[in-house]
Amino acid sequence: MTWVFVYGTLKKGQPNNYRMFDSNNGKAEYLGSAFTTQKYPLVIATEFNIPFLLNIPGQGHRVHGEIYKVDDQMLKFLDDFESVPTLYQRMVVQLEVKEWVGKTEGEEMLSPGSITEVSVYTTTTYEPDWPSLPCYESYDSEGAHGLKYNKEENL
């Protein structure tokens, strides 16, 4: 089992969340919500309006997202889906817990305010203009930015 922090289209209410609850892809369980302890730029880029957390700590906002526990099959699915290592790279990020609902037996219980380290799909290889794009604290495909995610098939 691996914990994954999602901040983009995999969050609840976002276009790819259902993929984590398709049993053909493996298993995922929502554990809680959190913010990155450091600031990162969360930008929306490419013609497909894809959200990317750029690995530039100290720039942007503390990014809001959700922590899921996933089995090895789901982790493999997500790595393929996110085109690791070309489009995204999975790295560990430090988080401050906001809400915790995970209750699985034997599972660590985290209270709001506690600090944990979790895997996240970030990107270290980006176009030169991406760091100067507008940054968001919490991604919403339907947000006021008008940049609706439009690549449901392949990403």
> Which residue ranges make up the site for ligand PCA (CB under 6 A)?
6-11, 51, 82, 121
Nearer to ligand PCA by C-beta: 54 or 110?
54
Nearer to ligand PCA by C-beta: 100 or 121?
121
CB 44 within 8 A of CB 135: no
In angstroms, give the least distance from the CB of 132 to ligand PCA: 19
Amino acid at the residue 43: V
In angstroms, give the least distance from the CB of 105 to ligand PCA: 27
Q: Which of 29, 47, 66, 82 is catalytic?
A: 82
| H helices present in 32-151, as ranges | 72-81
Check if 82 is active-site. yes
Report the SS3 class of residue 2.
strand
- Give the active site residues: 82
